[in-house]
C-alpha cells in the first residue's frame, strides 16, 4: 500500500528561524516519485519539487532544501531563515503507479505559521 505520513500537524516559529517539515512514505514500488506542494492561505496548490527514487542527491533552491533518504523512507523539507510569506500548508506526495496509471497519494499536510 502507498502511504505518506506527515506527523507534524502544525508548526509555529518566529521569522528567521529554520524549520524542517518531515515526510515519511511507504511504497513497494522500486521506481517512484516524491513531491512537495505548498498551499498558501489563498488555497491554490503550488508545485515545489519532484524527486525520483533513483536520485538521492539533496536539492537546494534558495532558502528551500530537501533531504531524500531512501534508507529511512523520508523526504524532509527545510526552510532556512523563514519568512512570513512561507506561512502555508505544505503537502508531501508520493506518485505511485497503480493499475498502469499515475496517481498522487498525499500526506495530511503540515500547517506552517511564521510569526513576525
Partner 1 sequence: NAGVTQTPKFRILKIGQSMTLQCTQDMNHNYMYWYRQDPGMGLKLIYYSVGAGITDKGEVPNGYNVSRSTTEDFPLRLELAAPSQTSVYFCASSKLRGAGNTDTQYFGPGTRLTVL
In the complex, which residues of this chain contact partner 1 (CB under 8 A)?
4, 35, 37, 43-45, 47, 50, 91, 93, 97, 99-104, 106-109
Residue with Cβ nearer partner 1 (75 or 91): 91
State in angstroms the smallest separation of the CB of 10 from partner 1: 10
Cβ at position 90, least distance to partner 1 in Å: 11
Smallest distance from the beta carbon of 81 to partner 1, in angstroms? Answer: 27
Torsion angle in degrees (nearest 10) through CA of 51, 78, 94, 108: -170
Could you tell me the maximum CA-CA distance found in the chain, to the nearest angstrom? 47
Which residues pair with residue 75 across a beta bridge?
A: 68
Judged by beta carbon, residue 70 or residue 103, the one nearer partner 1 is 103
Instruction: Give the shortest CB-63-to-partner 1 separation in angstroms.
Output: 21
Our CB check for partner 1 shows the closer of 43 and 62 to be: 43
Q: Which one, of 70, 90, 93, 95, lies nearest residue 79 by Cα?
A: 90
Q: Which residue has the cell 503507479?
A: 97
Q: How far apart are CA 42 and CA 49, in angstroms?
A: 20
Amino acid at each position: 500500500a502507498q502511504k505518506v505520513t506527515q506527523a507534524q500537524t502544525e508548526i509555529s516559529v518566529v521569522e528567521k528561524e529554520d524549520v524542517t517539515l518531515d515526510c515519511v512514505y511507504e511504497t513497494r514500488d522500486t521506481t517512484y516519485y516524491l513531491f512537495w506542494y505548498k498551499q498558501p492561505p489563498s488555497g491554490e496548490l503550488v508545485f515545489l519539487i519532484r524527486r525520483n527514487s533513483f536520485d538521492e542527491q539533496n536539492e537546494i533552491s534558495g532558502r528551500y532544501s530537501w533531504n531524500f533518504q531512501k534508507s529511512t523512507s523520508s523526504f524532509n523539507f527545510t526552510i532556512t531563515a523563514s519568512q512570513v510569506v512561507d506561512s502555508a500548508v505544505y503537502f508531501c506526495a508520493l506518485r505511485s503507479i497503480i493499475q498502469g496509471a499515475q496517481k498522487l497519494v498525499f500526506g495530511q499536510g503540515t500547517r506552517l505559521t511564521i510569526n513576525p
